[in-house]
Chains A and B, each alone.
Chain A
Amino acid sequence: MPKPHLAILILSAIVAPQSAAGFFEKVEFSGIFESELAAGIVSGNARKAEFTLIPELVVNFGRISDITVIARLRSELADKLEPGKTIDIELREAFVDTEIGAAYLRAGKQQVVWGQADGLKVLDVLNPQSFREFILDDFDDSRIPLWMLNAEIPLGGTLLQLLWIPDNTYDDIPPADGTFAFSSPRIIPRLPAGLPVEVAPIDRPDRTIKDSDVGAKLSAFVGGWDLSLNYAYHYFDRPVVRRTISPTGITLRRNYERTHIVGGSLSNVFGDFTVRGEAAYSSDRFFLTDRLEDADGVIRAGEFSYVLGLDYLGWRDWFVSAQIFQSVLTETRPGLVRDRIDTSATLLIRRDFLNESLQAEALLIQNVNQGDGVLQAAIQYEWRSNLQLKIGADVFFGKSTGLFGQFNDRDRVSIGFELGF
């Protein structure tokens, strides 16, 4: 049948100039400009004066593939979070999406989030995190995107995700003079006084291929349940700090350690309740000990952790979510700075007003063992379609030895806006 072919040829000749124009129409440029100012609750001192520009470019080639590039230009004028670093330019994400048969492939710098928990991490171990604002920043902003290859392949009724992450970037730890510098003995080893301390340069994995992380996830939707099985072989994103004590002084060495992690997640809905859960076992984890007799001040143990969450959507405009999180070590030794079983709980209450143009939210994270925690409250108002205003307060409480309690005197109130364009 030559005729239809001819018709198509003629048609494409007519259509061609339009599709060129169409190509340019598929270039989308958008972005967000946001600002947040924070001050200490009691002191009134400035804690943060941040302006951020996040431009995003998406070039679309139809259903076949598209390219996304997101950058971030950030300026913290109060110079409190990372003193000396008032301006910071970063390529956040840059990836190509494409389809091979029924499989999705995303290659490039990106974020991949595993698991079902909010605010607490069990399976969400793939991307490292920046702690410049401890955990107060949005995860989307604090998570550090990595260069990786991400394939999602449908297999029967399931979906197999394969990840290869040849990127040796790890958690960003705030500098010692930053507002949220760590001081809790759970993270910073306690050292005997009077001895000189030598800190060796950090030992980072640097072999692109050999030191890369790999991961796989198999997920399915079965009988109303969203289920996943996850596995990764990866470097834990915070360095292990080992100390050696000799009569001449103390030496601190830091390096990154690999671990296998295997786990799974589930979620389902029962009436007004959504049940979410995830659990994981990490084979090789390292924890600080106080015992001076210990050779390197570090104890190796397996860690089993899980989180169970319950969301309630039964009252109009309200969202209530509670989670319990536990981490259990396979062994314990005297002097270990954390308990063998460490329990935390979170409670999130959110209420929408005025057709969701106003949202009030309070999130309480509480560590049960130490009794410390943080309460984050925020009110967000969508003033225009593309302009949101936000005020918030972050209040830490508890003993200064705790993960949250260490920031007890760093409560803050903040105001900010987010302008989309």
Chain B
Amino acid sequence: MSKPDTRTKFFEVVTNWPKTILVLSVLIIISLGSFVPRLHKDTSSDAFIAPDDPVVLYRDHVREIFGLEDPIVIAVINDGPEGIFNPDTLALVDTLTQSIAGLANVDPDRVTSLATESNIVGTDEGMEVSDFFDPYPATQARADEVRAAVADFPLYQGALVARDGSATLVVAELLNQDAAQDTYEEILAVVAATPTTAGNEIHVAGEGAISGYLATYIDRDATRLNPLAAVVITFVLIIAFRTFAGAMLPNIIVLGTLAATFGSMAAFGVSFYVITNGLATILIGIAVADSIHIMSQVYEEQARDPVLVSSRQGRREIAIRAMARMWKPITLTTITTIAGFVGLWLGAAMPPMKFFGLFAAVGVAAAWVYSIFFLPAALTLFPIKASRLFRGANINDRYGAALRRLGEIALRKPGVTLAIAAFIALAGVAGTSRVIVQEAQIENFQTDEPIYIADKEINRRMDGTKFLDIVVETDEIEALFRPDHLRRIEALQAYVEQFPAVRGSTSVVDYIKQMHKAVNENQDEFYSIPEDEFLVAQLFLLYSASGNPDDFEEEIDTDYSQANVRFNLNVADYRLLTEIIPAIQNYVDTEFNTDEIRANLSGRVAVNYAWLKTIGDNHIRSLLLALVFVWLAAAAIFRSILAGTLSLIPVGMALLLVYAVMGFGGIWLGVGTSMFAAIAIGLGIDFSIHTLDRMKELLATRTGSFDERVADLFPSTGRALFFNFAALALGFLVLTSSEVPPLIRFGMLVAVAVSTSFAASMTILPAIGKILRPAFLFPRDTVSASTPSTVASAGSVAALLVIISMLFMSFAKADIADLLSGDEVIDRVNARDDGEQVSRALKMELVDRRGKSRIRETVGYRRYYGAEKRTVLFYVSPTNVKGTAFLTYDYPDAQTDDDQWLYLPALRKVRRISAADRGDYFLGTDLSYEDIKKESRISREDYVFSTINTEEIDGHLTYVVEGIPVDDATAEELGYSRVLWRIDPNMWMSRLTEMWDINGNRLKTVRNNDFEKIQGIWTALRLTTVNHKSGHSTIFTFSDVDYRTPVDDSMFEQRTLRRGP
């Protein structure tokens, strides 16, 4: 250390307040960690596409019109001579249909199977619509009739029954797509409970099941793996230091890093996505890296001055020395790693990847903060035993010795080293050209997983369970009766069906043709579109005479102006979609669309295509940006373009090698694997920076030949880097024990990348240094000149992070159009008599998400003084809170804040508390202060109201009134962006109230029950509030309600708060 400068002073300050820093660190971990439970999991595949992407908006629009969801598909397979057309199998289909329709999340009106569908046949009067199962196929003869009926109905072939008769489907649409995985599991249970006779096999699959279950599947697996990674890394630490502190302190930094990362994700309302699981593993590896380097330095210093260990002052001295030596490299690696992740953040288009990059950068910054502050404080305060492994000036354990040998070999003939490297790079380039971009959701499952088998089996026999919807729109009512429009749709179906993966399609045209044939004595030549618009209209009319007009709701809207054509595909992977979707879109644009009729692509297949098509671009863009940022950061740090370029070499080697593994190993560049590049750059660059920084220091301070001067690089920095690498690589290798193929591949690829970066840093960089002798490595007077730029880069990164965080906070809320004025309803609600005064007992039951409940009993009083309302609440039980009392004066003037006092028996003091935050939760309940204060009334000036509908709640007709806060500030204050009340006009009270938070997420549901007219005043005796975000709920039960007994003025005085009621 040439000069005891600001850095030494800085660490003197840090180590001067060790206790304070430790306590603060623990507090910060706890307070940030406390946000983590709020983290919202979004493991849906829709998460990969921006919620305002046109394709998503359109898909939702289509769902609304045609009620189409991604269904769960249950296949009954029978390979016997009769196929499924035997009484046993058909009975099984009937049983399954009924039990599945009975499940809570299954739309009972939208379960489709042979047991629910109708046959259209011609009769003398026209046509007859009757159920396939009417009469019930109890005999083989009846089963044969069903077979004949289906054979005569092309629409169901391939879609509902396999063309070879070996399989049939029960298709179940869900009410809530978000609960798909639960419903999938319920259906599996139903299937398991249904007795099957010999020859019948049941499979469950479908896009609804796959996307729902995939998330849970990956998530469950990763939840198991992440702790394992932490254990493995701790094990590495134990081997590296063989001391308790060496293993524990880095783990505390891990804890702090994870708390900061996931806490800030929760705080900014960013969801935890499927791929976020990988973030934890990466951060565990990164967080320990800084401390491995610092701890190594500490043990080296301890070995150098063993006397210092015993006294606190000595420990402080060691901590300061180690930090002064190590702060720079770890700060530099932090900056470059952040640069790598910022590349991913800016380069990726899919929200989960963007946030992955952003919060990985946050985590890396947090790890740095803990390493710089917490670690020296802990090193000062706690007596750290010297590591037996560090003796003398260098570490000569087997790892140090092995690295020394490696260094000697690499440096003996640097030309040979570089030639070998060049050869490996060339092989990498060859492999890179073989990498294919491909993704298919089903391939994320192990091949022996039942859903995988089911998917393959069903898609082999049937037309397919992946749906592409093409929605046809016209501007005029009944325009779709026109034969020219219908023929256009027919041609579109024919065009799309020519692609081999498209196995069938369903549209209203098929039904029209079937009906046309039916009214013409079932003659096959009439399976065609009628020439006359009026005939088409008559066919629908005839159908409705014997069939249910709702039968076509999935194909055409009630105005006959919009129709949906659904295509069945049996595969829907990325490569196929990139081939057919643009072709279909082109056909639609050039051949189909006219001024009168237009088509749009939608459905799961189109949505998936919309985000899958970005995989390749995402990968390239994030890779390039990460490289550029890392290069800029490294160049700035060493103040040398050449240094920046050199530090990219190990990373470049790592990338090439990984591409080679992918290319030769047939690993797809898919969603999971596409992120590896930016991550590998972010992680791998650290090895280069540490190596170059140490080489620079050694070349400046040592004497002798190049080899002699850099010899110490290997056993000290090299050894630390080795354990840094071991921790990372083993952490990622843990992922290979996963059950999810993409996680296995991801773990393996990153492990390969990290290993390569480490090996290349240890060999190629010293070899290049020896041959090239670049100026930046050799000492001049400007050794510490990089400090200002370091500070500047760190500063700008921090500033960037702050700006980004602020951007994310200002997500705008969605606007909802007004339909009708709700002001009158609200006025009636507020005019309702709720008693001049009231006294009552109130039991509050607070139930957390695990069902654990806490009970508080209170007595409360309320009285109006003109328009001013005074309320007081006294806690009577349990003992711990007994005596607590809360008093409010609520003034009629909205501009005047309420006055509130809280009496805390522990302080024996009445405390004035601010009432500005009406949206704050009231004393641990799920109701806000505003909710409590207003009781059943609704603040007129806070919202714009509209009556949007009527709805039956608990058997009573209610007005559905929507309230949107008048402005953002009010929304912020209330904590709501939207409220829906169900106002019962018999009482003018809300029976059910729903609130949405300011980000537009569903927040709370308040249900009023047990209405009773007490002394002429309607009173809800039970009020249940569920907070959907926290899973917490509050149940208020009122008793002894009395509106008549006068409440004394003194009840609302501060002295009564102290004394009790």
Contact = CB atoms under 8 A, between A and B. Distances in A.
Interface residues of A, number: 65
Given A313-B913, A354-B1032, A393-B23, A420 B848 contact: no
Contact of A420 (B37, B878, B916, B1054): B878
Interface in A52-85: 56
A360 B27 contact: yes
Contacts of B908: 111-113, 139-140, 143
Given A355-B848, A393-B23, A30 B879 contact: yes
Interface stretch (B493-501, B922-930, B932-940, B976-984): B922-930
A159 B1059 CA distance: 14
Given A97-B1059, A269-B899, A385-B878, A377 B912 contact: no
Contact of A268 (B381, B906, B912, B1030): B912
B1050 A102 contact: yes
Interface string B912-924: 1111110111011
B31 interface: yes
Contacts of A4: none
A238 interface: no
Contacts of B23: 362, 375, 377, 393, 395
B912 A351 contact: no
B773 interface: no
A134 interface: no
Contacts of A226: 912, 1054
Interface in A336-393: 351-358, 360, 362, 375, 377, 379, 382, 384-386, 388, 393
Contacts of A102: 1050
Nearest to A382: B854
B848 A274 contact: no
Contacts of B912: 226, 267-269, 274, 276
Given A360-B31, A388-B880, A395-B23, A272 B917 contact: yes
A271 B1055 CA distance: 25
Given A104-B1055, A152-B1055, A355-B924, A397 B846 contact: no
A361 B781 CA distance: 50
Contacts of A358: 34
B192 interface: no
Interface string A83-99: 00000000000000100
Nearest to A226: B912
B1032 A411 contact: no
A274 to B, nearest CB: 5
A356 to B, nearest CB: 3
B855 interface: yes
A313 B854 contact: no
Interface residues of B, number: 51
Contact of A355 (B26, B1030, B1053): B1030
Contact of B854 (A30, A104, A221, A384): A384
B398 interface: no
A156 interface: no
A397 B924 contact: no
Given A159-B1055, A269-B913, A357 B30 contact: no
Contact of A32 (B879, B909, B914, B1030): B879
Contacts of A113: 907-909
A356 B923 CA distance: 7
B612 to A, nearest CB: 40
A95 B1059 CA distance: 12
A355 B913 contact: no
A421 interface: yes
A272 B916 contact: yes
A215 interface: no
B34 A353 contact: yes
B924 A356 contact: yes
Contacts of A382: 854, 880
B880 A420 contact: yes
B914 A273 contact: yes
Interface in B333-382: 381
Contacts of A274: 912-914
A395 B914 contact: no
A293 B185 CA distance: 90
Most chain A beta carbons < 10 A, residue from B27, B907, B913, B1054: B27
B879 A420 contact: yes
A202 B840 CA distance: 54
B959 to A, nearest CB: 31
B325 interface: no
Contacts of A138: 906
Contacts of B598: none
Contacts of B7: none
A269 B897 CA distance: 9
Nearest to A318: B31
A316 B1054 CA distance: 26
B20 interface: yes
A89 B744 CA distance: 66
B428 to A, nearest CB: 50
A251 to B, nearest CB: 40
Contacts of B923: 356
A385 B917 CA distance: 26
B916 A314 contact: yes
A388 B881 CA distance: 11
Nearest to A267: B912
Contacts of A356: 921, 923-924
A237 interface: no
B914 to A, nearest CB: 5
B391 to A, nearest CB: 28
Given A111-B908, A357-B924, A360-B27, A385 B855 contact: yes
Contact of B878 (A143, A377, A386, A393): A386
B814 to A, nearest CB: 23
A85 to B, nearest CB: 25
A83 to B, nearest CB: 27
A362 B26 CA distance: 11
A356 B920 CA distance: 12
A136 B20 CA distance: 18
Contacts of A273: 914
A185 interface: no
Contacts of B880: 32, 382, 386, 388, 418, 420
B879 A421 contact: yes
A56 B905 CA distance: 14
B30 A379 contact: yes
Most A CB within 10 A of own CB, among B882, B975, B1030:
B882
A335 to B, nearest CB: 31
B852 to A, nearest CB: 8
Contacts of B1054: 159, 219, 221, 226
A99 to B, nearest CB: 9
B19 interface: yes
A397 B19 contact: yes
Contact of B907 (A112, A139, A276, A420): A139
A8 B917 CA distance: 51
A355 B1032 contact: yes
B19 A352 contact: no
Contacts of A311: 913-914
16 contacts: A30-B882, A104-B1055, A152-B1055, A219-B1054, A221-B899, A221-B1054, A271-B916, A273-B914, A311-B914, A316-B919, A352-B924, A354-B848, A357-B846, A375-B20, A382-B854, A397-B17
Closest 3 CB pairs of A and B: A420-B879, A356-B924, A386-B878
Given A112-B908, A356-B924, 18 more contacts: A97-B1059, A104-B1055, A113-B909, A139-B906, A143-B908, A269-B900, A274-B914, A313-B917, A352-B924, A355-B925, A355-B1034, A357-B846, A357-B854, A360-B31, A362-B27, A382-B854, A386-B878, A421-B879
Interface of B: 17, 19-20, 23, 26-27, 30-31, 34, 37, 381, 846, 848, 853-856, 878-880, 882, 897, 899-900, 905-909, 912-917, 919-921, 923-926, 975, 1030, 1032, 1034, 1050, 1053-1055, 1059
